[in-house]
Amino acid sequence: MAKLKLKFRDISRMTKKYPYTRHLPRTQLVSDKEFEMEIVSASISNALEHTVTWETQFGGIPNVTVSIALTSGATQMQNDMANVNMWVKAATATTCTIAFSDNFTGHVNIQAIRFT
């Protein structure tokens, strides 16, 4: 299993400035490895499979995680639709296919990451 270590770094400290007042820090995330990452939210209507095309092509096959996103104003029937199994059927550098155990209507979140 690959691990990624992220740190918050204040980019204001990289330059030498002598202001009269102290400003709030401007932070950015800095990692110890290079990686490619894409996050997609998709709406699905009554489907057993759904294919997502990545905005940019990955350098190889990424690790993909999928989850069902529940909405706050969901009815009981919509919450029952979320009671299905979901898995990644196929993942390539350009697309990802998600499969469901039953017909599904709702929103899903898809996260793909590849360490380079």
| Residue-wise pLDDT tens digits, 2-50 | 677 888 888 777 666 666 776 777 788 787 778 889 999 999 998 999 9
Half-sphere exposure at residue 45, Cβ-oriented, CA atoms within 13 angstroms: 0
- Strands 27-31 and 95-115, sheet pairing: unpaired
| Residue-wise pLDDT tens digits, 53-99 | 999 999 999 999 999 887 777 676 666 666 789 999 999 999 999 99
Q: Rounded to whole angstroms, how far apart are CA atoms 109 and 99? A: 13
Q: Rounded to whole angstroms, how far apart are CA atoms 87 and 16? A: 51
The pLDDT value given to residue 58: 93
The pTM score is 0.71
The pLDDT value given to residue 76: 67
